Structure 1
């Protein structure tokens, strides 16, 4: 039996074994790392009935430039890529990124009946029964051609393993000119360099969000000889026929956004050999190294598998766009250029450059998780964002293809960068970083631009926010982009101003500190005391007529007024005062949770049903970013017991399934919902995004008996931080007492400096609510 065939059968056996054990309780053990293969715990098919182009990954590394996987739908950014219920493969493509796609290939067998139609009719059915997926690996069988296809990758190189039927005419179709997910691929070219090497390039057309084209350069190396390369004059696509060989065919595809030479260099540096199983093993080792930084004990097998699947989501989606030598595509200026990242003393890039969806909502998700568990990743993203500013003048809020996209709203990168500084991850050039961030908060900066407003800067309403203290709804000048919703924009700008003020304070810029601190109180200007909600105003200062707090996307970005009202993470005490005090505020929010529970705390099971007449009126939505912090708002209202109770309910109903049919119930923007689920299950949350002087973590209700976090020696002084929840159960969701390193902890809060010093946090769990000193009332 061939070594790779044996590998596949062994993998099948392991996966069946995992499935059979899903309902078993897992015993608590002291050395979890010796008992658990974390990569094998991941269930990549989670929510794939609802996935979008960049949502699903299989044969990829953390943040890999190459994310090689089968595509069953190829038309549009939404509802495309790997869709579990579509049983026909359209090809294996190498790029699944924010507004980016490319290099789709399809192994085929040629016959007298299909050789004249193969360029138009090439898709193949497959069965999930024979499919096997895990991080860094994908195996399936193309039933039409009887081809067994296995996929794996390094960061920048995809590796294919095809076993064709004996005596078949084997070929690989390169669909370089095609609609592929979010964008059309055009001007595809492929040429033979030698008997086993091909060189090619393809252009990704601009999209509404990514306004400039980008060329993908790629090199292909085969383990067998090329018989011929034929181009179809109608489609412009290529068919590479292979010599008839009974051995499996291996194919390397290295990509680059800068040059063919760098695509070749990426292969030389990352995959100089042909050992498929070694690449798979190395991928699993890399994933285990990342996933194993958090070790959970207790709970069901399904709960643990879902946790590591959530964590896996937090480590992908946002893709590397720089080569191994640090070359990267810079599309921020009028003309495309190849940039060069700074190199360290050994000649290696100091950081990677990234393609990324918005940081809108990142303050409650990846910013917190990466800062605690993956500080080296957070540092790289900060340096990447600042590189964009050096090249194009603005810190982006969601760059694609080396290009500004102006996705979503505000200056969402400011809290992310400020938190990295406050956490001690970024320590140099703070003054220049501050000046770079400040640009976005002033005229000419990114706050002036609404969503995807590429050529104007009126849609964000910044001048009104500065002059009047709020962004009017509607913007009087008219429509310029997306998300011109004054209620949400005012709240967002106020929070982001507060975070910038914290950095100004740290640097001793007192005048700036007071200026942005004053602006951060603008949220008060859109609070309507009569209705008790945040309410949009027009330019004249009149409240929106016939206001309905449950009307979706009327003055609010991807939210209704009930959801958006609680977006004051920097001053919840001030918001509570406007509502008549923390007790009344807690009652109001508690009632919203009781109502939202009837719909499972989400506006449907996917982003595309949020505007359904029933779902859109939900008062709390854990399927989109604007209100995902609300469970921890109770903490700031003196009711941590309600945080503990409701966060457990949200986890149970929203983030506990393990099925292709559900998972994140909405908008999983490149790991935001996955990381949110991880943080809630760990019982750690930063309500203001970790942007104060010594960031604080609010302690919730961990779902596992024991959680061990391995701290990073380059960024943290401690080695491990352990959270143990004694007597934890589905009923014992409340924290009766806390001890940090065997000393009583006053209040369910821990500072970043204390946590990263390492130690042991013990929570005594109970089924009775325990009220914080700020409140004496146990009834709502």
Structure 2
């Protein structure tokens, strides 16, 4: 796998059963076909079977799989498909997807919009995936062949966290709350077995695939939004370890721990002299600094929630490290040397080795936890809005990759939520369609689809780990979100966009549960309690709605009550 080229800690096993006898069978071993043989081990081996179509025109086959053993594959098949009732299996699959997709109902869009929406919802529900067998058995995350048993939870794998912490996991908290416990417990099980909270756990293994430490975001977001049925103290302990310690070198090479943590702790940023060699993505020092600062914020929030004032203060201070890579002279984040000097030459529009999968133009805006602080660094609200305008007008916004996804929503922090409505509507139309090429980039384990779903519903989580969503213009005239008990209220939350049309894309006024609402954001608790958000739409921006400083979304450095 990606870390050191060692095989992942599992093998794949499957069993196939047919409802009739074979007329012939065999294997191929390398390029040699071997009739009536049952075993092949060389090259890329395979097997074949033949049937006599004169006696049976339809052949049924059912397959069971397992990552632990062939016997478990048989038991999984017996547990899930005990008979040959093809119609029953089809109907059960249809009902399962109908139940999953009907959690959100949308009305008032075109047929194309409906297809795009529910295709996105289908995509968003594909990962993480169940990794344990029907009896709870799974191969351990600790790199050996031991088999563990998930007690009182289902074990999941393939957490594409660099992508999915942004919107995919927050979406799943809303629409599939019954699985959140299992996802978090699975992440902690990996940490217990391997000794470190994994950063990008895929293939049931530690990897150095992507940057950041966004298990912090996933855990904190779940806790802040009311999920408590996991070992919070164990999660806090592992998060502290990741944030403060570097593993022994063999473990570090195997993908455990934060890359370049020693430099980050020494300088408050990762200098260019640290090449970050022990990673799939080398370098990317500025992006790592920014993402670690956000992750440290998430740890500060969890520490504060647990009453650990000292740790909350420490990591809130570290969450300000984004300022250490912001060059006030140019107004961009920029590569920095150990002596504090800035890299030269510098062109923020070009890809550079110290930025991950984007440009300084894009990553300058990755301070989701302290947008108010970034606004001040840029010289105030008007300067910030002008900078955002330049990013879009010069075509530096790149929706096909995740670092850009939150950027259209940042206008709301600076008093211009109408521009969020404009930019989000443009991005929805430009990057999604019900065609074979209907996504502008890799879906990345559901993140691209999750952005669409939130935006089409009219709200988006700019900073997971907090309880707020930024409002925008919905794509549909009515959205009904069914809130599942016991984690949510069991009621519905409805968004109504009165007068919405192709030309009426701007919010004029808003009412939350019958009371006028002038804030360009809404809390998670307001949504999951059930209720109604009514938006009056119009053809021109209402530049006053949601524009007052006191109505802006919260940021870490705010002095207002309720901010973190």
TM over 0.5: yes
Check the 8 A contact 2:414/2:547 in 1, yes or no: no
Residues 764, 459 of structure 1: alpha-carbon distance in 2 compared, 3 angstrom cutoff: closer
1:231 Cα deviation from its structure 2 partner? 2.5
**How much is the aligned-residue C-alpha RMSD, in angstroms?**
2.2
Quote the Cα distance in structure 2 between the aligned partners of 1:370 and 1:744.
29
Alignment-derived partner of residue 438 in structure 1 = 240
Question: Which protein, 1 or 2, shows the higher relative CO under an 8 Å CA cutoff with sep ≥ 6?
Answer: 2
1:640 aligns with 2:422: no
Quote the Cα distance in structure 1 between the aligned partners of 2:280 and 2:163.
20
1:371 Cα deviation from its structure 2 partner? 1.3
Alignment-derived partner of residue 39 in structure 2 = none
Quote the Cα distance in structure 2 between the aligned partners of 1:223 and 1:756.
48
1:584 Cα deviation from its structure 2 partner? 0.6
Quote the Cα distance in structure 1 between the aligned partners of 2:183 and 2:282.
25
1:708 equivalent among 480, 493, 498: 480
Quote the Cα distance in structure 1 between the aligned partners of 2:485 and 2:276.
53
Alignment-derived partner of residue 496 in structure 1 = 295
1:361 Cα deviation from its structure 2 partner? 3.3
1:399 aligns with 2:201: yes
Alignment-derived partner of residue 449 in structure 2 = 674
Counting only pairs closer than 5 Å after superposition, residues 173-192 of structure 1 correspond to structure 2 as: none
1:727 Cα deviation from its structure 2 partner? 0.3
Q: How many residues align?
A: 533
Greater Cα shift, 478-487 or 546-555 = 478-487
Check the 8 A contact 1:732/1:766 in 2, yes or no: yes
2:338 equivalent among 534, 539, 557: 539
SS at 2:536 equivalent = strand
Alignment-derived partner of residue 219 in structure 1 = 15
Quote the Cα distance in structure 1 between the aligned partners of 2:352 and 2:228.
37
User: What CA deviation, in whole Å up to 9, does each residue of 1:87-110 have, x standing for no partner?
Assistant: xxxxxxxxxxxxxxxxxxxxxxxx
Quote the Cα distance in structure 1 between the aligned partners of 2:227 and 2:407.
27
User: What CA deviation, in whole Å up to 9, does each residue of 1:36-88 have, x standing for no partner?
Assistant: xxxxxxxxxxxxxxxxxxxxxxxxxxxxxxxxxxxxxxxxxxxxxxxxxxxxx
Check the 8 A contact 2:198/2:206 in 1, yes or no: yes
1:591 Cα deviation from its structure 2 partner? 1.8
Quote the Cα distance in structure 1 between the aligned partners of 2:98 and 2:283.
43
Alignment-derived partner of residue 375 in structure 2 = 576
Quote the Cα distance in structure 2 between the aligned partners of 1:668 and 1:312.
12
Quote the Cα distance in structure 2 between the aligned partners of 1:278 and 1:209.
45
Quote the Cα distance in structure 1 between the aligned partners of 2:52 and 2:268.
71
2:534 equivalent among 759, 762, 765: 762
1:462 Cα deviation from its structure 2 partner? 1.2
User: What CA deviation, in whole Å up to 9, does each residue of 1:128-150 have, x standing for no partner?
Assistant: xxxxxxxxxxxxxxxxxxxxxxx
Alignment-derived partner of residue 35 in structure 1 = none
Alignment-derived partner of residue 25 in structure 1 = none
1:385 equivalent among 179, 187, 201: 187
Check the 8 A contact 1:266/1:323 in 2, yes or no: yes
Quote the Cα distance in structure 1 between the aligned partners of 2:5 and 2:81.
31
2:26 equivalent among 230, 252, 270: 230
More helix by share: 2
Quote the Cα distance in structure 2 between the aligned partners of 1:460 and 1:541.
21
User: What CA deviation, in whole Å up to 9, does each residue of 1:475-495 have, x standing for no partner?
Assistant: 157565424211101100000
1:398 Cα deviation from its structure 2 partner? 2.7
SS at 2:60 equivalent = strand
Quote the Cα distance in structure 2 between the aligned partners of 1:767 and 1:231.
67
User: What CA deviation, in whole Å up to 9, does each residue of 1:566-612 have, x standing for no partner?
Assistant: 0000001101101100211011101211222xxxxxxxxxxxxxxxx
Check the 8 A contact 1:734/1:769 in 2, yes or no: yes
Check the 8 A contact 2:259/2:276 in 1, yes or no: no
1:552 equivalent among 328, 337, 351: 351
Counting only pairs closer than 5 Å after superposition, residues 404-443 of structure 1 correspond to structure 2 as: 404-443=206-245
Quote the Cα distance in structure 2 between the aligned partners of 1:379 and 1:645.
37
1:246 Cα deviation from its structure 2 partner? 2.5
Quote the Cα distance in structure 2 between the aligned partners of 1:503 and 1:760.
30
Residues 477, 424 of structure 1: alpha-carbon distance in 2 compared, 3 angstrom cutoff: closer
Check the 8 A contact 2:260/2:276 in 1, yes or no: no
Structure 2's unaligned 5+ residue stretches are 32-44, 551-564
Structure 1's unaligned 5+ residue stretches are 1-205, 343-349, 597-618
SS at 1:229 equivalent = strand
SS at 2:510 equivalent = strand
Alignment-derived partner of residue 339 in structure 1 = 148
1:319 Cα deviation from its structure 2 partner? 2.1
Check the 8 A contact 1:394/1:440 in 2, yes or no: yes
1:402 Cα deviation from its structure 2 partner? 2.2
SS at 1:441 equivalent = helix
1:687 aligns with 2:483: no
User: What CA deviation, in whole Å up to 9, does each residue of 1:431-479 have, x standing for no partner?
Assistant: 2221122222122269x99xx9734779822112111110112415756
Quote the Cα distance in structure 1 between the aligned partners of 2:169 and 2:333.
26
Check the 8 A contact 1:736/1:769 in 2, yes or no: yes
Check the 8 A contact 1:210/1:403 in 2, yes or no: no
1:422 Cα deviation from its structure 2 partner? 0.7
Check the 8 A contact 2:513/2:532 in 1, yes or no: yes
Quote the Cα distance in structure 1 between the aligned partners of 2:513 and 2:2.
53
Check the 8 A contact 1:254/1:267 in 2, yes or no: yes
